[in-house]
Amino acid sequence: MTDVQVAPPETATPLARPRVLVVGPEASARGGIGSVQHVLERHASALADLDLVTTHRDGPDRLRTMVTGTLAAARRIRTTRPDVVHLHVSQRASVLRKGALGAVARSRGVPAVMHLHGSQFLDWFDGLPRPARAVVRSLLRPHRLVVLSETLRGPYRERLGIPDDRVVALPNPVEWPSTVDAPDDGPVLAVFLGRFGARKGIYDLVNACARLTPEQRRRLHLVAAGDGEVSQVREAVAAAGVDDVVEVAEWLDRAERDDLLRRAQLLVLPSSHEGLPMAVLEAMAFGVAPVVTPVGALPELVHDGVNGTVVPVGDPAALARALATLLDDDAHRHALGARARMDAEAYCAPRWAARLAAVWAAPR
């Protein structure tokens, strides 16, 4: 994994223990950004004094939380003058809200770190009219822009006009499980974790399961857990006749997720768009072999035939062939899982927190 790249002026002095205002989702919120915030609160608090402002939480109070949290963050920037503001940014309206807070920070001389998570940010930006793109560039003028992989540094730098030394590649973190179960050669448990919908490829996965041979289907049990289009996915499973293979569950909490990953051998996520999905990192940390598409930052993490399997986007037939190979070859599947766990160690939470703290403490 590439280390954080920070190129401060030689005459500046880094902050020893910065006071950081962190603006973003509640740590228990569903989705990848909530998982990142959970790790940040658990591991970065030893390296910086954190002041947390929540602008997103699950449930009926989402809009109220967004409005009151954004206003509270603006007040904190003006009144407490933190050393750094850390803004979690997705896409669309999130850019406007966090961009406005970045402007407030600049007006008070407070450096802002903008942490871009949006899996479809670049497509969204490219689809905007030229005047709107200019507005986004004017809003996203951070002291440091954090992106999820080295390959994303160039595209973000070019579109947003941010100097190269201000763009930092910091892949997502994973909390390291101390123990994992050894795989066996019995029935294979595969998992899908994420929001149900076409973007995550869940319907391609259902289609792929229907293409397996009867013997392969008897070996496979797939647990698909998430939120979003739950009823539609259940209907797709029934229509494809794969009720014997696919179990559709709703969103799992962290303990339930970890229990599932501890027993699993495959994580299947055939997405059309991703950043660096936490589900893949979490699965690899448990020694679960990932089956993914080459989107977002995944090509830097998953290498076909080495620590996982890579399939084309939107190709259920290719996905079915990949699953068949993994079901038929126990030794290959076990080897991929073992190497996945080895490679995931580079993303463990304490190392990530230290790299993030280096961004916060970087000279002005």
pLDDT digits (tens, 9 = 90+) for 186-232: 899 999 999 999 999 999 999 999 999 999 999 999 999 999 999 99
Whether 12 shows a pLDDT value over 50: the answer reads: no
* HSE-CB of 59 using CA atoms within 13 angstroms: 9
Indicate the class that CATH gives domain 19-173+348-361.
alpha beta
Give the pLDDT band (50/70/90) at residue 9.
Answer: very low
Confidence class of residue 2 from pLDDT cuts 50, 70 and 90? very low
Supply the pLDDT for residue 180: 86
Q: What is the average pLDDT value for the chain, to the nearest integer?
A: 93
β 289-292/220-226 pair status: unpaired
pLDDT tens digits, residue range 78-92?
999 999 999 999 988
- Within the chain, all domains assigned CATH 3.40.50.2000 are found at 19-173+348-361, 188-347
Q: What is the pLDDT of residue 10?
A: 38
pLDDT at 13: 52
Tell me what pLDDT residue 89 has.
Answer: 96
Mean pLDDT of the region 123-136: 95
Residue 135 pLDDT > 60, yes or no? Answer: yes
* Angle, alpha carbons 233-220-240 (nearest 5°): 35
- Looking at the predicted structure, is the pLDDT value of residue 184 above 90? no
Q: What is the pLDDT of residue 1?
A: 40
Taking only the tens place, the pLDDT of each residue in 234-252 is 999 999 999 999 999 999 9
Looking from the CA of 205 toward its CB, the CA atoms found within 13 Å total 34
User: Average pLDDT, stretch 144-170?
Assistant: 95
On the question of pLDDT at 129 being above 50, the answer is yes
Q: Which residue has the higher pLDDT, 347 or 186?
A: 347
Mean pLDDT of 268-278: 96
**Mean of the pLDDT values across residues 290-296?**
97
Q: Which of 17-26, 110-119, 173-182, 277-286 has the lowest mean pLDDT?
A: 173-182
Residue 65: pLDDT band by 50, 70, 90 thresholds?
very high
Tell me the pTM.
Answer: 0.90
pLDDT in tens, 153-165: 999 999 999 999 9
Q: In the structure, what pLDDT confidence band is assigned to residue 138 with cuts at 50, 70 and 90?
A: very high
Q: Find how far residue 97's CA is from the centre of its chain.
A: 20
Fold of 188-347: Rossmann fold (3.40.50)
pLDDT exceeds cutoff 70 at 134: yes
Query: Would you state the pLDDT for residue 182?
Result: 82
Mean pLDDT across 112-116: 97
Q: What is the 3-state secondary structure (H, E, C) of the chain?
A: CCCCCCCCCCCCCCCCCCEEEEEEECCCCCCHHHHHHHHHHHHHHHCCEEEEEEEECCCCCHHHHHHHHHHHHHHHHHHHCCCEEEEEECCCHHHHHHHHHHHHHHHCCCCEEEEECCCCHHHHHHCCCHHHHHHHHHHCCCCEEEECCHHHHHHHHHHHCCCHHHEEECCCCECCCCCCCCCCCCCEEEEEECCECHHHCHHHHHHHHHCCCHHHHHHEEEEEEECECHHHHHHHHHHHCCCCCEEEEECCCHHHHHHHHHHCCEEEECCCCCCCCHHHHHHHHCCCEEEECCCCCHHHHCCECCCEEECCCCCHHHHHHHHHHHHHCHHHHHHHHHHHHHHHHHHEHHHHHHHHHHHHHCCC
pLDDT classification of 14: cutoffs 50, 70, 90: low
Cα 312 to its chain centre, rounded Å, is: 20
What are phi and psi for residue 24, nearest 5 degrees? 175, -155
Nearest to 24 by CA among 97, 81, 84, 79: 97
